[in-house]
Each structure stands twice: as structure tokens, then as C-alpha cells.
Structure 1
């Protein structure tokens, strides 16, 4: 597959290994909501690994959304261009379902997480509590439903589609909720949860290795008996 300029922009070359390059103290600092709110949004490949959910091991960090950030004005501009391009009546904007029309179109263009019925999932505009005027995002996924591989092609198609409508956007990770009303610092600290997650994951991997080693030894003994 030929890499497009947009996909090259999303390349992995500058991706740091956040988890292994930080001390435990430095890592703990990143797991406080104050740090998260101060430093987001993140670009695609510098998103801290410690913010990725691991439901299997009971690790539930705040929800982050991966998608194209844009303003309400930019989205309305894109929607207007879409309706013009497809020769739809201006009165379409008076109907309550025009956002879903755009969402279905974007999902189809991006081939967004195709469902069982052969239909692409819509990409609905979502508001996020950012510090800038880029307060909306067209989401590709979250840290809770992140696929096995980074959805580079979907992201590239979304950026190319927006650019075709005169919108220059970037793919970024946005904090999905505003936790400002949470006053207790203890509630905003995920460092203990993260360290517990690492311990559980390590124990699970060790148990798997031990079971595999027992199986290999058992199989070798059986072969010896029959030789």
C-alpha cells in the first residue's frame, strides 16, 4: 500500500516509549488529573501508554478520545460544503437529522469500524473540554475501544475528507470529560491503580510461562518413556 502524505504525517517514527523511559515517580505525576488536563491534547503517537485502559486487569483510567479536532464553525462549514456538493436542498439544515447525515457520510468515507450488517459506524461530532477554541472532535475511537493496531488508514481518510472540504485538522487524543468539579485530589490520582495493574499483568504473564514450561517438561517426559 502506498503511503499518502497524510499517512506519512501520522507515521510512527517519532513515537517515544513513554512507559519504559520514565521513573516511577515521574510516571506517577502523569497519573493525576491536573497533569492530564494541563498537557492534553496529545498527538497520535506520544499518547502516554499509562492512559490506555486495560479492562482485563481492572485498570480504568479516564476516557480519552482519538479523533480530528475542529471548531463548531469549521464543522458547519464542512457540512455546508457537503450539502452543496451533493445538491441537497438548503432546508436540510432545518431538519433535526442533518448531523446524522454528516455522521453516516464520514463513517462511510473512513470505513469506520464496519458493523456486522456491512454498514460503517457513523462518526458523530463530540464536544470535549479543551483549553483552546478547538472544542469539538470527530472521534475515531477511545482508549477503551482502541483496536489492536493504530487506525492509521481511518485517520488519514478523515483528515483527507475534511481537507477536501477546506478544513485543515489534526488527529489528537482529547480528554473526554471535564473533571473540574472533582475537588478531592485522592479521586484524581490513578498512580496506585496503574502500579497494581502492572503487578497483575506481570503475575498473569509469569503464571502463563510456568504453565507452558510444565507442559513442555511433561511432553518431553512422555516422549522419553516411549522411546
Structure 2
């Protein structure tokens, strides 16, 4: 298990239009650090996730920090060895360049929790969960539309190769005050020039369970498409940070 933060100097930002540019830059960095391509991309890749901290308005995203996290022992050393200079990606078709070569690197320590215990967390990147009742791919827009514990445990159990039993509950007051808590994320530009989107949800959550399960969720993230930058968690008491 390993988790790092890449932070650009204050006042500096990296810009992007679609989230796949950030994903591809991180993949470049991981491969340059020693990962085999099949370890980080494709259906059989190791579990990992990232969050691009900053903001996205209209067609412009700006990011000042990247969280890169993995629960995988096979990727932990690679994440530790990642060089920010290799976290860059140029795309001629859109004229974009995302470059994190000026970033500093710090290790994010695991949260301190009892066993069993509970953690208050934030979704640093939106949590994507598809509607199991829909024949076509349809993303849920409200956390109270789904059994969040069951959805989280099913994926985490698959990652861990064992039964994971977490209770995952959204903050009740937040949901009452913010019934609309979904975010439309532009993931990539299609060949026809249109954008592909994923809908994710953001809200404070309380995770409860064994320390082993809590740390797995912390490093792996929650929900679907985590390797594409969804479901990365942060501690509620620490906020997003800079």
C-alpha cells in the first residue's frame, strides 16, 4: 500500500480539458518508474486511483496537486519511485500539455483508526456507481439511490480476494442540505469531437469496520472507474489541502 501527493509550487497550475489527459500523465509517470503497462492500464491492471485537486469550470480544468494511491503491493514500490518530471502528457489533437515536473512529492501517511473503528472521509474525486437495474450504462446521481455499503464491499472484496465488510454511510445533514451532489466529469474527447462523460457523486462519508478494511478503502478508493480518477478519498478533518 502506498499513497503520495504531488504538489506544484503555490501559484502554479496544470491545465486540462478532459480527465483522460491527467490519467495519461499519471500512467506515463508510473511506467517510467518501472510499472509494466499491463499493471496500470487494461482490465487486468492492479488497483490504483488518483485525484486531481483544483477545479473544473466550463471546458477548463486547473490542478495544483495530484493524489496517487494504491493498495497493491506490486505497485507500491513503483508509486514510491515516481518522478514528477515523468508525470506529463502532450496531446497534439487538442493542443494540451499537462506537466507536473515542477511538483514536490510527499508521502501521505495512513489514517490512525481503532480496530474496529470509523473514519470520516471526503470524496476527493467523485464516486462513480452505475445503476445495476439499468440495461444501458447509467450513472447514479444520488447516494441515497444505492446501498453504498454493498456497492463498496463488492468491489473491495474483489480487489482483496477476501470478504470485506464495511459500513459506508453518507453524511445525513449534507444530503438534506445538498440533494443535488452529483458532478458531470468530462473524461475524454471522442473522434466525432464530442465529449464522453461520467457522473460521479461527492459527499462526506462515514466508513466503519475493521482497520484492515478501512485502510483498503483508503488506498483503493470507492466505486467504479477508480483508475480513471474516481472515488479517491481524503480525511474529512484535513479537508482537501493545497
Q: TM over 0.5, yes or no?
A: no
Give the structure-1-normalised TM-score.
0.29
The structure where helix makes up a greater share of residues is 1
The structure where strand makes up a greater share of residues is 2
Rg larger for = 1
